[in-house]
Amino acid sequence: MAPYRPLVAIVVSHEHPVGMAMHLRFIPSLDTTALMLREGLLLRHTPDGAELWRGGAYRHAVVLPLVFQVVTRNAQLQSCTQWPVERPLRYVSVTGQEQLRAETLAGSGASRRPLLSVGIDHRPAPDGACATYRIALASNRRD
């Protein structure tokens, strides 16, 4: 069995006070779960996000449509964050850019329960290098 290697990294940063852990968990959608099973991908949580790892049997797909709901055990994270658009929101990939863009799901009937959702149309690099996608959250500034 070939070793697993990172394929996708999702990194979430926040201007929160040092030492305040975000405790994020990425939950794949049903379609993403099926894709992960079919392609032999593993989800690994990190202190600042999540990673998808691929095994030796990985087949290079043209596009991997990845969708995750992101939840947190940190109850303060929702109130200490200045959201860029009305919640519920999702972060989506923009072709050729590392930074994910926020868009609102307000009025769509989407649940406000997850902290946010992430949608990435990942195009694997020909050399198999790990791609990093970033979400930068700002703090609510209370003077």
The C-alpha atoms of residue 4 and residue 104 are separated, in whole angstroms, by 35
Q: For 72, which DSSP code?
A: E
Q: What is the reported pLDDT for 143?
A: 42
62-91 pLDDT, tens digit per residue, is 788 999 999 888 878 877 888 888 777 888
Cβ neighbourhood burial of 99 (10 Å; 0-12, 13-18, 19+) = exposed
Residue type, 4: Y
Report whether 131 contacts 9 (CB < 8 A): yes
Q: Which parts of the chain register pLDDT below 50? A: 143
Q: What is the reported pLDDT for 103?
A: 80
